A and B are shown apart, each in its own frame.
Chain A
Amino acid sequence: MSATAERILTTTRARVIAVERETHDTFTLTVAPADGAAFEPFQPGQFSMLYVFGVGELPISISGDPAEAERLVYTVRSVGQATHALVSRKPGELIGVRGPFGTSWPVKEARGKDVLIVAGGIGLAPLRPVVYHVLRNRDDYVRLILLYGARSPRDLLYRKQLAEWGRAPDTQVLVTVDYGGLSWRGHVGVVTTLFRQLRLHPAETAAFICGPEIMMRYVIRMLEARGLAPQDIHLSMERNMKCGAGFCGHCQMGPYFVCKDGPVFSYRQMQPWLDVHEL
């Protein structure tokens, strides 16, 4: 086996430091290296393969601060046996980590521009590292605009941080829910309805989108209607992944392997494949 393949396929043991409840079904795990060696640095948008010993391995986006190399943070929605097992880990227990894998949000190329983030549901998790990066390197960017939609108020991730980010200079955070009760006094409507409150400078904006694929398609239509070019729109795709490194072909999408060539793609790359049925 080549050294590269060995590195890709070798699981590193990590110790769970904390498991925090974000919503009724979503949790944030923080892990640290269990064997002394540091984790490989990651870029915003990359993911790891997390192994719950005896249960299974899952691709999970890294949702923490890229500048904090001594630990890795993952936000996981408990929707099946493996994710339930993952979020049920207790501090001190071990899991396996492979990666980081995949492409990243082009934060360097976005320097000097407005950064527009559009997230839906748990799609905010892979974009949180971008927010950390922009806020940490504030002078490199102009405006930071975050549009975030969730199913209901109880499904909103990182509520405290959303409020904090909204108070940062030159930062606009607009949050909406599809349905709200009487106690919710914020915006109600799908995430695309937030665009009416925006003034975009299309030639000076880099847009990063993550959420359900249908949502991303509608967001792209709104962005194109406002003059953004396909190369300035980036999205994170999801497909079933197994190896995480382009060996197995489970996540093939047209000519791409989402795990290796993605998960972050420019819309220019994805344009021919987004509307293809059963791809």
Chain B
Amino acid sequence: MTATVPSERRMANDIAANLGHLPGERAAEEIAGHIGRFWDPRMRTRLYEFVDAGADGLDPLVVAAVKLLR
């Protein structure tokens, strides 16, 4: 019995939940900044793949952040 939610999706959504209170575009900027500062490149690539595959289950703020990261 191990986790069924992909880790990158879970972690990105957690970040969005905690930074989502920020106003306007700042939330997406801060989420992008956090992921950029703390995530290994292969994790970011996996996140981009989730977004490209339809962003199923991803917080919209994460999707906005990924746009900034790219």
Q: Do A and B bind each other?
A: no
The residues of B with any CB-CB pair to A shorter than 8 Å are: none
The residues of A with any CB-CB pair to B shorter than 8 Å are: none
